[in-house]
């Protein structure tokens, strides 16, 4: 009975939303803010990827808030899982193929992650995606050899320093220009690696922070005690 | 779209259907995992095809990241299915 | 019969994802499955936001030599969704950590069972008699 | 383009149904990674390569890894043969 009511409710909600969506314009968004940003973003920030300039320049404070939310989530998960880090019986090692494959993939994943971070202002990608790839890169060898553990002190240092670097760049812009996280250091030539001023530095800080947080989270999840069914 | 692109889309659609059938019906969990892995490979190829269709190299990055990371995800799922057997 | 226009398909798909995720979130009896349903709901919302910024015939909002001067899709919803996806995985990890702790404490993840044991625990902590069942007729309840 | 969008949406909805109705949780996790895969293709069709890249990295890599680790820690990793009864806890249907 309860299931039937829920299904009816969900179907009704879907129908209602569909009726609302039928009034939305498709293919011709009333993009006033977007149009303005598209016109002046390359001249203002010097980044070829306009999404990057929205994320880091027009909405940089928002990104700082997102970083703190992610930090709170990772810290909360680590706190919840914390007391059970010691395991009585660790998982067995993976087979030869998994260990050799993980060792082969590790440098490739590292290079791909750094490429995505450093080219965040030119091609799709950036700090968040590159951080995820870095976390996956550091987790893959751990999947083959579960007995080894990541160095939690180093991870916390990297995370703290990267967060401090993000805020320091923002404060520098605040004192030099009067706006928090305003673009600095000149714009350079559109489409080259060393362009867009401080945006690549900010994305590098974001990438290191996200990567450190997520790999610490993955290591915490992997190190909690396995439970037999 | 010319004939080559249309036939490529048709073949990929067929492959996706076959993988989907195996994923829904597969009698055991390893079957479902292998079907999901097949779907990720087909998707990587499809993303490359979209890059060719839109005539823009930007979409190749998506295919690269997808191909690399789906491997990691599937290896983790395979480790989870392995259980405590050593 | 003419096929429906493409915007109907896209909006309908996104809203179907939202409705499916909501239904699964409410109906799931297992906590793990409600976390998965939350992911589907989130995916539908993200698709809806990106759809709102699509412009017919536009190119991706990245300047390359081939696309200068062409109309582009709206970059603002895309930046928003980029943020939402990353936060979503953080929320998912936190929810899974909480579910792991619940499993360590109660040994099960069945929603009804966990709720019953939690109520019994709070009753015991407050020094109340354990309530046998609310579904019994009033005569058989211990008063 | 129309038929491609139809196909990808079909895959998305089918995989979402599979997440909610799959007989055991590991199949549900595999289906949820298929949902994010189809969603990534949809973002590419909607000309949002940044979002597609994020969805690919998060949905295919990180989310799958986190869910697989949690499944492992919960002890729900039964092989789930449909002929044998699955572990009682992993078979909670939606």
CATH number of the domain that C102 lies in?
A: 1.10.287.3510
**Does any domain span residue D91?**
no
- Total of domains in chain C: 1
Q: Classify C32 as helix, strand or coil.
A: helix
**Does any domain span residue C85?**
yes
Question: Pick from C57, C72, C83: which is nearest to A38 by CB?
Answer: C72
Ordered DSSP codes for A37-75: HHHHHHHHH--SBHHHHIIIIITHHHHHHHHHHHHHHHH
| C53: nearest Cα among C72, C70, C73 | C73
Interface of C with A in 91-130 (CB under 8 A): 91, 93-94, 96-98, 100-101, 103-104
pLDDT band at D80; cut points 50, 70, 90? very low
**Does any domain span residue D88?**
no
Provide the residue range defining the domain that includes C20.
6-55+73-126
Is residue B86 pLDDT above 70, yes or no? no
Phi-psi region of B58 (alpha: psi -120 to 50; beta: other; left: phi over 0): alpha
Interface of C with A in 20-79 (CB under 8 A): 20, 22-23, 26-27, 48, 51-57, 60-65, 72, 74-76, 78-79
Cβ-defined contact of A129 to D72 (cutoff 8 Å): no
Contacts of B55 in chain C (CB under 8 A): 66
Count of alpha carbons within 13 angstroms of residue D63, beta-carbon side = 33
Residue A16 in contact with partner chain C when CB distance is under 8 A = no
- Total of domains in chain D: 1
Is residue D94 pLDDT above 50, yes or no? no
Cβ-defined contact of A50 to C63 (cutoff 8 Å): yes
Residue ranges, chain A, pLDDT below 70: 1-2, 31, 83-92, 184, 186, 188-189, 191, 224-229
Q: Which residue of D has its CA nearest to A127?
A: D54
**Does any domain span residue D80?**
no
pLDDT of residue D93: 40
Write out pLDDT tens, residues C90-139. 889 899 888 888 888 887 778 888 888 888 888 888 877 766 555 655 55
- Total of domains in chain A: 1
Average pLDDT, chain C: 81
**Does any domain span residue C136?**
no
Provide the residue range defining the domain that includes B15.
3-82
CA distance B37 to chain A (A): 16
Mean pLDDT of B18-23: 88
- Residue B29 CA, distance from chain mean position: 17
Mean pLDDT of C72-79: 85
Question: Pick from B61, B79, B84: which is nearest to A124 by CB?
Answer: B61
pLDDT band at D47; cut points 50, 70, 90? confident
Interface of A with D in 20-59 (CB under 8 A): 49, 51-52
Average pLDDT, chain D: 78
Residue D46 in contact with partner chain C when CB distance is under 8 A = yes
CA distance A170 to chain D (A): 24
**Does any domain span residue C79?**
yes
**Does any domain span residue A68?**
yes
pLDDT of residue C1: 58
Interface probe with B: pick from D8, D32, D46, D65, most Cβ of B within 10 Å: D65
Q: Which chains touch A (3+ CB pairs under 8 A)?
A: B, C, D
| C31: nearest Cα among C120, C121, C98 | C98
Mean pLDDT of C53-68: 77
Contacts 24+ apart (CB under 8 A), B35-42: B35/D30, B36/B74, B36/D30, B36/D31, B36/D33, B36/D34, B37/B70, B37/B74, B39/D34, B39/D37, B40/B66, B40/B67, B40/B70, B40/B74, B40/D33, B40/D37, B40/D60, B41/B67, B41/B70, B42/B12, B42/B15, B42/B16
CATH number of the domain that B33 lies in?
A: 1.10.287
Percent of chain B at pLDDT exceeding 70: 95
Residue D13 in contact with partner chain A when CB distance is under 8 A = no
Question: Pick from B29, B40, B80: which is nearest to D37 by CB?
Answer: B40
Is residue C24 pLDDT above 70, yes or no? yes
Cβ-defined contact of A128 to C86 (cutoff 8 Å): yes
Is residue C80 pLDDT above 70, yes or no? yes
Contacts of A228 in chain D (CB under 8 A): 75
Residue A116 in contact with partner chain B when CB distance is under 8 A = yes
Cβ-defined contact of D63 to B77 (cutoff 8 Å): no
Is residue B9 pLDDT above 80, yes or no? yes
ipTM score of complex: 0.86
pLDDT of residue C40: 92
Contacts of D74 in chain C (CB under 8 A): 32, 99-100, 103, 109
- Total of domains in chain B: 1
């Amino acid at each position: 009975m309860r299931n039937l009511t829920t299904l009816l409710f969900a179907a009704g909600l879907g129908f209602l939303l569909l009726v609302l969506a039928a009034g939305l314009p498709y293919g011709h968004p009333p993009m006033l803010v977007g149009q303005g940003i598209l016109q002046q973003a390359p001249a203002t920030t010097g980044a070829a990827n306009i999404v990057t300039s929205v994320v880091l320049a027009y909405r940089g404070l928002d990104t700082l808030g997102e970083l703190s939310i992610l930090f709170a989530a990772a810290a909360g998960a680590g706190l919840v899982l914390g007391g059970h880090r010691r395991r009585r019986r660790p998982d067995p090692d993976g087979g030869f193929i998994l260990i050799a494959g993980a060792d082969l993939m590790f440098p490739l994943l590292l290079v791909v992650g750094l490429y995505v971070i450093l080219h965040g202002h030119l091609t799709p990608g950036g700090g968040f995606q590159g951080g995820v790839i870095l976390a996956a890169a550091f987790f893959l060898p751990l999947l083959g050899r579960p007995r080894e553990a990541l160095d939690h002190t180093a991870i916390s240092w990297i995370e703290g320093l990267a967060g401090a670097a993000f805020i320091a760049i923002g404060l520098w812009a605040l004192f030099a220009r009067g706006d928090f996280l305003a673009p600095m250091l000149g714009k350079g030539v559109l489409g080259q690696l060393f362009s867009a001023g401080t945006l690549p530095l900010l994305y590098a800080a974001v990438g290191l922070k996200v990567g450190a947080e997520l790999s610490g989270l993955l290591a915490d999840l992997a190190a909690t005690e396995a439970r037999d069914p | 779209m010319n004939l080559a692109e249309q036939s490529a889309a048709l073949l990929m659609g067929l492959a996706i259907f076959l993988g989907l059938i195996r994923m829904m019906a597969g009698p055991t969990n390893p079957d479902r995992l292998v079907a999901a892995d097949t779907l990720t490979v087909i998707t990587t190829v499809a993303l490359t095809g979209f890059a060719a269709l839109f005539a823009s190299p930007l979409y190749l990055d998506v295919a690269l990241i997808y191909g690399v990371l789906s491997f990691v995800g599937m290896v983790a799922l395979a480790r989870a299915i392995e259980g405590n057997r050593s | 019969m003419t096929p429906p226009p493409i915007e109907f398909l896209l909006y309908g798909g996104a809203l179907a994802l939202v409705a499916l995720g909501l239904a699964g979130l409410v109906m799931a009896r297992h906590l793990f499955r409600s976390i998965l349903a939350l992911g589907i709901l989130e995916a539908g919302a993200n698709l809806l936001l990106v759809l709102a910024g699509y412009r017919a015939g536009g190119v991706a909002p990245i300047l390359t030599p081939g696309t200068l001067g062409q109309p582009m899709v709206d970059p603002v919803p895309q930046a928003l969704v980029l943020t939402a996806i990353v936060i979503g995985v953080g929320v998912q990890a936190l929810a899974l950590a909480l579910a792991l702790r619940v499993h360590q404490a109660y040994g099960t993840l069945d929603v009804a069972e966990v709720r019953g044991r939690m109520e019994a625990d709070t009753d015991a902590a407050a020094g109340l008699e354990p309530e046998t069942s609310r579904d019994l007729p009033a005569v058989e309840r211990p008063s | 383009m129309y038929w491609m969008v139809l196909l990808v949406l079909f895959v998305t909805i089918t995989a979402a149904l599979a997440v909610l109705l799959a007989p055991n949780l590991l199949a549900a996790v595999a289906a949820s990674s298929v949902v994010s895969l189809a969603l990534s293709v949809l973002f590419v069709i909607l000309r949002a390569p940044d979002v597609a890249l994020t969805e690919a990295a998060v949905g295919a890599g990180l989310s799958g890894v986190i869910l697989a680790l949690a499944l492992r820690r919960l002890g729900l990793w039964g092989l789930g043969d449909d002929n044998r009864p699955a572990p009682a806890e992993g078979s909670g249907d939606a």
